Chain A
Amino acid sequence: MTPNQPHATLFIQCLVDGFYPEVAEAMVKVLRRLGVRLDCPTDQTCCGQPAFNSGYRGEARKAAKRFIALFENSAAIVCPSGSCATMVRRHYPELFESDGPWLERALRVADKTYELSQYLVDVLGVTDVGARFCGRITFHDSCHPLRYLGVREQPRRLIRAVAGAELVEMVDSDRCCGFGGAFSVKYPDISTAMVEYKAQRIIEAGVDAVVGCDMGCLMNIGGYLSRMGADVKVMHLAQLLAETGEG
């Protein structure tokens, strides 16, 4: 182990943990390939975003405290979800606005929390991770990483560097897919209309795969495409970057 070897702590979105463990595994594969030393507090559960978005700030605060306690000693915290990273970076400090000691801890954690593509490009300074994937790819911008973390170019640069991949922009790539967590359950008609629009743009783009940085959106988009029987692969960025074209 070289002394300069980067060290990151895995912050796994609950949705990925329970439903898409393969996405987290892909992320581990990519990070290890780049020589990042990893650890993972296996006691972690949920960052509290669902409660926060529904207005349950007390519950969200509890989840946040738990998260902060678990992660505050990490060097860098890396998350495969732009939305959860936004929760920690943006909303944790808001939650403790009037609680000095916790605010300080929240800010410290917020400062070193990164969405995966941010970590790779902005922190590690890497764009070519040695991935290979043959096909046309379009990228869906998830709202929170795009508008709150400024994640726009990072994933695109990573995708462009994938051997064999061609990045094709869909129309309105930055338009919300209609997931919105509880929104998609409470307002299914509106949510469906939104994901239908998104799915049409994806299909129009004539791609082999749609790639994103958040499994919430991808579950929504994928669920719709799968019901349509559309022949478009839905991949998390980590999965694309983990591809080596062997098998």
Chain B
Amino acid sequence: MAEIACERYKDMAATGIADPVLQRALINLQHRFGRGTAEAYRNLPEGPELRFQAKAIRQHAIDHLDLLLERLADKIEARGGHVFFAEDAEAAVTYCQKVADRRGVKRIVKGKSMVTEEIGLNPALMADGIEVTETDLGEYIVQLAGDHPSHIIAPAIHKTRKEIGRLFADKLGIPYTEDPPTLTRAARKALREKFMAADMGITGCNLACAQTGHITTLSNEGNIRMAATLPKTHIAVMGMERVAARLSDHAILFRLLAMGAAAQQMAGYVSYIGGPAGPDSLDGPEEFHLVILDNGRSRILADPEFREMLQCIRCAACLNVCPVYGEIGGHAYGYPYSGPVGAVVTPLLVGVNRAKDLCQGETLCGACRDACPVAIDIPRMLLALRAKLAVGDDRWNVAPAGPAERAVYRIWSRLIGNRRAYDLCLRAAGAGGRLLAGKDGMLGRLPGPLSGWTRSRNLPSPAAKSFMQRWKEMEGEGGSNHD
């Protein structure tokens, strides 16, 4: 399993906010991709409604997942591929280790894959003495720096060209430069050697096709194609939901995926892989393994409130528009999945109480829902998670909120149920507020629960008379009647 640091959301968020380099990078990213995605949707010849067609396709797949996985596995096995059904991270990792061991693997090249981060595959293989090289340029940078990815699609978005220049000078022994093409070329050269020397390639799978029995990988750099073509063994790891029923489903999904991920019309490369290279093939791996991972997904599938989340195709469009992600960056989420998608998926995978700040630390603005190529209603699910955190939930083993918080809402509920008591409170707050208020009627720094608010913002003090009172005075006591 990947390291889980969701408990540190607030601290890590503050760190992200205080980092001017990260702030600039995030604005740059969101302006470029967030806006580009919205524009790409607007210009769709089929209209923005296409997202809902895509959603229906994904839902169809999820509703028939058992049949789809069975067909996928049968077809791949018929072509001589191996399919391993992994119940959890440990089973998946152990399987990969065993294959590597049996094949005498010394060097692995990897394509970017969130699911391998989720199961903690790299550290396990490295502990076996295998060299594991991330080959997506962003992942490569992050790996060289001993850091974690901070974005699903652009893992090194938190690094400046200066930092990368120093890193490459240090680790690759090239003269310092901050020119992106020169830096890219240096990585290209170093990684080409890795590709040529690797005896195993590990990739994820963007969206398999059950009907034909293929996995697919999408990339712009070509690294995933290299990893799936050159080494003698290819292992692909996929979350069990990443499958479509029919080949033609891809026609819509891949376009929307490219729009969501990078505001492109189509990803640079799409590869369909259905097994090992055939006996007369001139290239391609001798052995092909597909690891299909559950690791908590069947629990999400079983809950109608959250099943929708399995439609996700991990495009990161929601990160590129989220105003919270845009301030705090990806590390704050404390798990490989960040941004709005992470705020729902992570609690469901690692435990809702443990990741409670991920459920509560958003404003429910809904920008993610509009950006999502499959229109996943993330705010709805954040609200559902909050409901579990408030009153507890057996199915998800969620402990309810503490008695103090619950008492607040109980009292509030009574108060708003009785206008007279409510008025008394308003008046008391009004009197208190006016005592503390400055000349402009605003409240400055306050102690207690409002201290955070008032550290940066003034608060208005309550009015001397509520509107309801004023209305009654204007209209006479009969004001509430439908005359």
Contact = CB atoms under 8 A, between A and B. Distances in A.
B363 A192 contact: no
Contact of A189 (B10, B362, B369, B390): B10
Contacts of B360: 54, 182-183, 186-187
Instruction: Report whether over half of chain A's contact residues are helix, strand or loop; otherwise say mixed.
Output: helix
Contacts of A178: 323, 363
B480 A55 contact: no
Interface stretch (A42-50, A120-128, A162-170, A204-212): A42-50
Given A187-B13, A189-B17, A190-B324, A219 B470 contact: no
Query: Is chain B's interface secondary structure helix, strand, loop, or mixed overall?
Result: helix
B456 A176 contact: no
Interface stretch (B207-215, B219-227, B380-388): B380-388
Contact of A25 (B390, B457, B467): B467
Contact of B412 (A28, A51, A174): A51
Contacts, number: 205
Instruction: Report the interface size class on chain A.
Output: 35 or more
B472 interface: yes
B412 A190 contact: no
B452 A176 contact: no
Contacts of B383: 52-53, 55
Given A188-B452, A189-B452, A18 B416 contact: no
Contact of A176 (B363, B453, B462, B475): B363
Nearest to A195: B457
Given A42-B419, A187-B10, A223-B458, A51 B466 contact: no
Interface residues of B, number: 71
A17 B426 CA distance: 10
A143 interface: yes
Contacts of A226: 440, 442, 457-458
Contacts of A193: 17, 327-328
Interface string A27-40: 01000000000011
Interface of B: 10, 13-14, 17, 323-324, 326-328, 357, 360-367, 369-370, 383, 385-391, 401, 406, 409-410, 412-413, 415-417, 419, 422, 426, 429-430, 440, 442, 444, 449-450, 452-453, 455-463, 465-468, 470-472, 475, 479-483
Given A56-B409, A66-B416, A175-B367, 14 more contacts: A12-B467, A16-B467, A19-B460, A19-B463, A55-B387, A55-B388, A62-B417, A144-B366, A176-B363, A187-B452, A189-B17, A190-B324, A193-B327, A220-B457
